Amino acid sequence: MAESSSLFIMIVYLFPLLFHLLTGASHFVPRCCEDERSALMQLKQSLKEGPEYCSRFYIDSSGDDKKLESWQLEGGQEGNNCCTWSGVQCDGRTNHVIGLNLSQACIYGSINSSSSLFRLVHLENLDLSFNDFNFSPIPPEIGNLWRLTMLDLSANVLTGPIPSQLGSLIHLKYLDLSLNRFHGPVPSSISHLSNLRCLDVYGNNLSGDLHLGMFSGLQGLMALVLSFNDFTLLPEPNASESYPLLWSLGLASSKLHEFPEFLRHQHDLRWLDLSYNNISGQIPEWFSSFIYMRSLNLSDNSLTGFPQHPVFLNWTRLISLDVRSNELQGPLPAVPYASIQFYFVSNNRLSGKISSMICNMNNIQLLDLAKNNFSSVIPRCLSNLSRTLMVLSLHDNNFYGGIPQLHKGACSFRMIDFSNNLLEGPLPRSLANCTELEFLNMGNNMIQDIFPSWLGSLANLKVLILQSNRLQGPIMEPKSNFEFPNLQILDLSCNKFVGLLPSNYFQYWKAMRVLNTSGPSYFGDSWNVPLSSFVSVIGDYDYSMTIVNKGTVMVYAKILEYLTVIDLSSNNFTGEIPKSIGSLEGLHLLNLSHNLLAGRIPPALNGLTNLEALDLSRNHLSGEIPEKLTELTSLAVFNVSYNQLSGSIPRVKQFNTFDNSSYKGNARLCGDPLSKKCSGPDKVAPSSPAGDDHAGSNTSVEFDWKVILMGFASGLVIGVVLGQGISIGGDNWFVRKFGRRYRRRRA
């Protein structure tokens, strides 16, 4: 199954903070040197800035495109003092510029050998991360900045080889080159950086043979992240070699076929990422020696199990365990219930019952047991976890019986996915008190209930998926004008709803009435695992969607937050299509197929100016196709087949792109692309007997929507790191528009 994942790490060392506190303790404001002020102004003039250059990698904001505004040579003495400029730090004793922080400054340009940056020879801290330097290489003049202790060039669209001159920065403690396009080997000169504490080259195109022994002389090294490159890691000739005792190690997607032997001696590890490798077999017993472990990611391998040994319960500090997408078998692996906060075992072969012991996870925030073979009732005691539990994913198992009330007292749920199980009975009414709930998927079960109008008060609910259950009855009119105010995706398909379409609801769904013009953001959430007072692991997971469209499975690794969908197909709705649907200007997909709708297609649907797909097939609609629909210039999928429509087919704009399958089963329609030609402007073919070509409302549906929790990224990247995933499916209109597609980075 395709998965998307995003990895983020932020390691904040105390030494820059302490330096700032010490130098800023005095009220004295340093005054910068003339030549350094001139160098900064030349640097500014060589760069462009603006919101269009804000980094696509940064998760927390769109960046600050005004960081350089304070760099002005006017405004008197204070304005001319570069020590007061944004991002500039000066030494209170020497007045030299010792710190430059332009992280997330939304700047664009090139750094070449003549850049005035390299005249700032007193720099100790340089952070240019999350900008766009337009495929520049790092010039060899970087070696001029020999006083640097911190260098962060992550996520800058830099390319070329890593220059050997970095090895001359002998005071360097923190080096982050992640998320760029660097290629070639890691230069051996890196081994000269005896003061180095942190090295991150995550997510580049580095290649060649890499012997971890090159880092053995860096005895102060605490964090080493080599993940997602094209290295070939050579086996250690002497596993007892004196490696530095690491706190954090990232070797994801490193072509590993077994656990590196040197790990036996890494007793101080707090964070370990060996995901996306080809490691098979059992997890070795010596893993039990990692008593300080906080975050362990072994996902996307071929592991079969843990040793059945109680020492694994000694991981009393473990906060995050990710063993998704392996071949684990047997019962749910034991974890330290008191400390665990993020637990991922989805997409394995685990089976059996879920013990009530799971309810002892008093601090759990995310529990993902999806895509296994668990077969039991859902423990009622899960309601005890609602104070902390935000994400609960049990989809694609064999859970049966009723759905228990999911909370007692406080409710922190943001996402619940119980889809594709054997659950029955009514929906738990206690969900009405989960005011933070954004995403609820109960699709593909045997739930017997009516439309849950009582969820309408949840102001944060954006996604509601109840498709393929046994829901019945009419959808009653809303009791107020404020029900489901932020709903964006509604799937009630394949149920037994009857009566008229809920016209008044359409008027009140504000989130579908307004076009979301914000930048690209995605349904999901984030988490933070503190490893120590100065190291945190920050991760995020994404709500993603699988569509079965005419038998083709398409997986979308992320759902853009502006996507809006209504799918009411395969029910027994009657009456006319209400004109009020036309007010949902932000709607992207509307599927009303396989119902008993009658009357004319309302011309008011031309108000759906952002509609990409419209399926009205297999109903009893009559009359002509409104010419007004040709105003829907974003329409890419249109289906009115198997109705009782008549007249000529419009052939302008988007309607020139629809083929015969959009119109078949309407005996009185004529004109291209049908073979039947219109004999005159007012002539239409006689109607065929009712039901002749109409397949009814219980045949296979055209769109079957399922929303799933696709991938929770657990991991560390020094600086900020975005991981990779994949999706499957055709290169079609919906993939291009609504799904960010990823290529899984594998060995």
Nearest-Å Rg of the Cα atoms of the chain is 30
| Whole-prediction pTM | 0.84
pLDDT at residue 482, as a whole number: 84
Contacts with 27 (C-beta within 8 Å, 6 or more apart), sequence order: none
- The answer to whether residues 589 and 565 touch, using CB atoms and an 8 Å cutoff, is yes
Using the predicted structure, report yes or no on whether residue 118 has a pLDDT greater than 90: yes
- What's the pLDDT at 221? 96
Report the pLDDT value the prediction gives residue 568, as an integer from 0 to 100. Answer: 95
* Mean of pLDDT values over 603-621: 95
Residue 162's closest CA among 193, 132, 131? 193
- Does residue 35 register a pLDDT over 70? yes
Task: Assess whether pLDDT exceeds 70 at residue 166.
Answer: yes
Count structural domains, the chain: 1
Q: Is residue 506 part of a domain?
A: no
Judged against a pLDDT cut of 90, whether residue 306 lies above it is answered with: no
Q: What is the mean pLDDT of residues 606-616?
A: 93
What are 525's strand-pairing partners?
541
Does 613 map to a domain?
yes
Q: Give the integer Cα–Cα distance in Å for 280 and 278.
A: 6
The more confident residue out of 639 and 525 is: 639
- The Cα–Cα gap between 165 and 143 comes to 5
The answer as to whether 695 is a domain residue is: yes
In sequence order, what DSSP letters do the residues of 38-105 get, joined into one string? Answer: HHHHHHHHTEEESGGGS-SS-SS-S--TTTTTT--S-SHHHHH-GGGSTTEEE-TTT--EEEEE-TT-
Q: Is the pLDDT of residue 4 over 60?
A: no
Bridge-based pairing state of the strands 535-549 and 552-556? antiparallel
The residues, any chain, with a CB within 8 Å of residue 247's CB and separated by 6 or more, are 222, 223, 268, 269, 270, 271, 531, 532, 535
Q: Which of 24-28, 268-272, 731-735 has the lowest mean pLDDT?
A: 731-735
Look up the domain containing 635 and give its range: 588-700
pLDDT exceeds cutoff 60 at 673: yes
Residues 396-408: what's their mean pLDDT? 93
Structure tokens belonging to residue 705: 């929507």
Query: What per-residue confidence (pLDDT) applies to 29?
Result: 74
744: in domain: no
Q: Is pLDDT larger for residue 149 or for residue 652?
A: 149
In a domain, 433, yes or no: no
pLDDT average, residue stretch 159-169: 97
Residue 693 lies in a domain: yes
- Interatomic CA distance for residues 115 and 100, integer angstroms: 15
Residue 151: pLDDT over 60: yes
Per-residue DSSP letters for 178-240?
-SSEEEEPPPGGGGG-TT--EEE--SSEEEEEE-GGGGTT-TT--EEE--SSEEEEPPPS-TT
Model confidence pLDDT, tens digit, residues 694-732: 444 443 334 443 333 333 333 333 232 222 222 323 333
557 pLDDT tier (thresholds 50, 70, 90): low
The arithmetic mean of pLDDT across residues 117-122, rounded, is 97
pLDDT digits (tens, 9 = 90+) for 192-205: 999 999 999 999 99
* Burial class, 27, CB count within 10 angstroms (exposed 0-12 / middle 13-18 / buried 19+): exposed
Residue 394 pLDDT > 60: yes
- Could you tell me if residue 672 is inside a domain? yes
Report whether 362 contacts 385 (CB < 8 A). Answer: yes
**Residue 406: per-residue pLDDT:** 87
Would you give the DSSP letter of residue 131? Answer: S
Quick: pLDDT tens for 366-379.
999 999 999 999 99
The mean pLDDT of the chain is 82
CATH code: domain of residue 630: 3.80.10.10
- 223, pLDDT greater than 90: yes
- CB count within 10 Å of CB 708 equals 25
Higher pLDDT, 674 or 573: 573
Check: CB of residue 30 under 8 Å from CB of residue 691: no
55 has pLDDT over 80: no
Of residues 695 and 45, more confidence is placed in: 45
Residue 107 has pLDDT above 70, yes or no: yes
- Supply the pLDDT for residue 629: 95
pLDDT at 526 (0 to 100)? 57
